[in-house]
Amino acid sequence: MSRTQKQPSYLGRPIQKKTIGDRVVRFRTALSNTILDVLKGRGWQEVQGDMEWDFYWCDVGWMREVFDHFYMEEHCRINHFRNHYELTRKNLMVKNLKKFRKQVEREQGKLEASKCDFFPTTFELPSEYHMFVEEFKRNLGSLWIMKPIAKAQGKGIFLFRKLKDITDWKKESYKSQEERRNDDKEPVETYIVQKYIENPYLIGGKKFDLRVYVLVTSYIPLKAWLYREGFARFSNTRYSLDSIDDTYIHLTNVAVQKTAPDYDPEKGCKWSLNQLRQYLIARHGIEAVEDMLKKMDDIFIYSLLCVQKIMINDKHCFELYGYDIMLDDKLKPWLIETNASPSLTASNQEDYELKCRLLEDTLNVVDMEGRLTGKEKRIGGYDLMWNDGPVTLEEGGLDCMSAPTYTTNTHLGCFNDREKQLKQLFRSLQMAKKTTTV
Whole-number pLDDT of residue 173: 61
Whole-number pLDDT of residue 276: 97
Looking at domain 121-196, which CATH architecture does it have?
2-Layer Sandwich (3.30)
Q: Which residues of the chain have pLDDT under 50?
A: 1-4, 12-17, 177, 396-398
Enumerate residues 6+ apart whose C-beta is below 8 A from 281: 289, 401, 402
Find how far residue 26's CA is from the centre of its chain: 27
Q: Where are the alpha helices (DSSP H) in 119-242?
A: 129-138, 167-173, 177-182
Whole-number pLDDT of residue 51: 82
Domains 121-196 and 206-233+263-437 share a fold: no
Other CB atoms closer than 10 Å to residue 45's CB: what's the count? Answer: 14
Determine the topology of domain 206-233+263-437 in CATH. Answer: D-amino Acid Aminotransferase; Chain A, domain 1 (3.30.470)
With b for 16 or more beta-carbon neighbours within 10 A and e for fewer, the 410-419 pattern comes to bbbbbebebe
Whether 232 and 413 have beta carbons less than 8 Å apart is answered as no
Enumerate residues 6+ apart whose C-beta is below 8 A from 177: 187
What separation in angstroms does the CA of 325 have from each of 147, 252, 328, 381? 16, 11, 10, 20
| Of 130, 131, 105, the residue nearest 116 (C-alpha) | 105
Domain boundaries, the chain: 19-83, 121-196, 206-233+263-437
| Total residue length of the chain | 438
- Count CA atoms closer than 13 A to 35's CA, side-chain side: 21
